[in-house]
Amino acid sequence: MSARLTGDETALWKAAARTLDANWTGTSTAASPGLYPHQWSWDSAFISLGLARHRRDRAEAELLSLFRGQWANGMLPHIVFNTRLARRAFFPGPELWHSERHPDAPRGVHTSGLTQPPLQALVALRLHECATDGDSSRAFLARLYPLLTAQHRYLAQARDIGSDGLIAICHPWESGLDNSPAWDRPLGALRLPPTAYAPAQRPHTLPNGEDYDRYVRLVALMRHAGYRRTYLRDDHPFAVEDPLVNAIYLASTHALAEIATLIGADPAPHRDQAQRIHHAILDHLWDPETGCFRARDLRDDRLLPVVTVGAFGPLLDPELPSPIVRNLVDLLLSARFAGAAGYPVPTCDIQAPAFDRGGYWRGPTWVSTNWLVWYGALGHGLPVIADLIYGSTMRLVRQSGFREFFDPFDGTGRGSHDYAWSAALVLDLLS
């Protein structure tokens, strides 16, 4: 803990550390006690950032534990199941995915068959930057590097469905922003076979039953096709290029180049790849008419209408042209986002018809997306934006605790309590 923290901040720091301790399972961190008892991919990356400030050994263990679930084709699954828990501890559990029947899936561990935003390389580099023992930290990076490059190779080979340098999500869960209104149109266009699975019983009521049913049916299609690359490219009905997912992919590709340099490997292929992603984000996801980034539906080659917090993802691109940075700052401060929210950043444009202040990823503020925009703003030397988001995030957790998500107008906490990434990212912000 840093000596410069105020009394209030020290109390918050200790509460966050206690939350991470309580969610520690012995080998990794449960995303939230009760609701999400397993290890999720991008949660694990965020959590590792917090652990790095509190229990360095656990930060490394967390990432290594996640990569135990990596498939032989490089795919890093979005859930690694805790096998010590009852099979019914979470729906959908291992029985939806049948990873054990897939030749590429690891033995002795059950996983999902989808992935999530590839934050791990960015996080691994940040872990190194805050390490006190440089040699041991470099040894950790050297151990992780082949796993990270395999993860990125899978994305470039299997998920560049549009052949344009970007990666596509094949399921809303892969975005991490499950029920974002950005996916309403492609989800609504699906003609899906019925499923044997009943809609899940969830402690909070969102996303609604109909959406949830579609999520499960989309998984069934992928599973029946053996999660095959050619099926995903040619036949799978849901394929969307999202600006937040691709900006994370880009930032992690830059991080991979730096990690390569640190451990004496060749950074050039990662640098080339980063250039390709940078240009593709601008060419395919920037809408000059409305001055914002939007997701692209590859199945009808159109930009999706709703503007979400994902529009600010490209701030993670260190080479984002400054006129576009200014556009994003104006949009962020406008009445569509921070200008009308007491506790920014809402996850959907407040003026969009789909905006819902209590609707999970359809409007509420989340600590994870706040952290990403804060980090991007710092990278572009935007202290006013970074301070605004820092202040709003601190007020949220002080007022409502480490909740899963928050009302963007009055800061009311919603969803799960003791949500691990909310605690972890506060530790990172305070450090």
- Token code pair at residue 250: 């880009």
CA angle, residues 182, 397, 119, in degrees to nearest 5? 50
Q: How far is the CB of 112 from ligand 9WN (least distance, A)?
A: 8
Query: Of 36-44, 48-56, 119-127, 270-278, which part binds ligand 9WN (CB under 6 A)?
Result: 36-44
Residue 208, φ and ψ in degrees, nearest 5? -70, 165
Q: Does 178 bind ligand 9WN (CB under 6 A)?
A: yes
Q: Does 154 bind ligand 9WN (CB under 6 A)?
A: no
Which listed residue (16, 30, 43, 150) binds ligand 9WN by CB under 6 A? 43
Judged by beta carbon, residue 60 or residue 418, the one nearer ligand 9WN is 418
- Interface with ligand 9WN (CB under 6 A), residue total 8
Q: Does 36 bind ligand 9WN (CB under 6 A)?
A: yes
Q: How far is the CB of 318 from ligand 9WN (least distance, A)?
A: 25
Cα 426 from Cα 9, distance rounded (Å) = 10
Listed in sequence order, the residues at least 6 apart from 134 whose beta carbon sits closer than 8 Å to its beta carbon are none
Q: How far is the CB of 245 from ligand 9WN (least distance, A)?
A: 12
Catalytic residue among 241, 258, 317, 404: 404
Whether 164 is catalytic is no
Listed in sequence order, the residues at least 6 apart from 235 whose beta carbon sits closer than 8 Å to its beta carbon are 225
C-alpha separations of 390 from 177, 212, 248, 394, 422 in Å: 21, 33, 20, 6, 13
Q: Does 81 bind ligand 9WN (CB under 6 A)?
A: no
Q: Does 140 bind ligand 9WN (CB under 6 A)?
A: no
Look at residues 33, 227, 222, 40 and name the one whose alpha carbon lies nearest to residue 117: 40
Q: Does 40 bind ligand 9WN (CB under 6 A)?
A: yes
- Token code pair at residue 338: 């921070």
Q: Does 176 bind ligand 9WN (CB under 6 A)?
A: yes
Q: Does 183 bind ligand 9WN (CB under 6 A)?
A: no
Judged by beta carbon, residue 29 or residue 137, the one nearer ligand 9WN is 29
Query: Of 38-46, 61-69, 125-133, 219-227, which part binds ligand 9WN (CB under 6 A)?
Result: 38-46
Catalytic residue among 43, 174, 178, 213: 178
CA angle, residues 98, 103, 109, in degrees to nearest 5? 55
Query: Of 34-42, 68-76, 293-301, 316-324, which part binds ligand 9WN (CB under 6 A)?
Result: 34-42
Judged by beta carbon, residue 145 or residue 360, the one nearer ligand 9WN is 360
Q: How far is the CB of 18 from ligand 9WN (least distance, A)?
A: 19
Q: How far is the CB of 275 from ligand 9WN (least distance, A)?
A: 29
Residues from 12 through 31 that contact ligand 9WN (CB under 6 A): 31
Judged by beta carbon, residue 71 or residue 173, the one nearer ligand 9WN is 173
Q: How far is the CB of 40 from ligand 9WN (least distance, A)?
A: 4
CA angle, residues 51, 112, 191, in degrees to nearest 5? 130
177 touches 117 (CB < 8 A): no
Which listed residue (42, 97, 154, 227) binds ligand 9WN by CB under 6 A? 42
Q: How far is the CB of 426 from ligand 9WN (least distance, A)?
A: 16
Residue 413, φ and ψ in degrees, nearest 5? -80, 145
Cα 280 from Cα 320, distance rounded (Å) = 12
Percent composition of the chain: helix, strand, coil (DSSP 3-state, to 5): 50, 5, 40
Judged by beta carbon, residue 44 or residue 400, the one nearer ligand 9WN is 44
Question: Would you give the DSSP letter of residue 106?
Answer: P
x/- binding map, residues 228-257, to ligand 9WN, per CB under 6 A? ------------------------------
Q: How far is the CB of 1 from ligand 9WN (least distance, A)?
A: 26
Look at residues 89, 86, 79, 112 and name the one whose alpha carbon lies nearest to residue 35: 89
Look at residues 404, 417, 329, 408 and name the one whose alpha carbon lies nearest to residue 368: 404
Q: How far is the CB of 58 from ligand 9WN (least distance, A)?
A: 18
Whether 174 is catalytic is no
Q: Does 377 bind ligand 9WN (CB under 6 A)?
A: no
Cα 347 from Cα 369, distance rounded (Å) = 8
Question: Would you give the DSSP letter of residue 360?
Answer: T
The CB density around residue 231, as the number of other CB atoms within 10 Å, is 15
Residue nearest to ligand 9WN (CB): 31
DSSP E strand boundaries for 289-386: 292-293, 296-297, 302-303
* Positions in the binding site for ligand 9WN (CB under 6 A): 31, 36, 40, 42-43, 173, 176, 178
The set of catalytic residues is: 178, 404
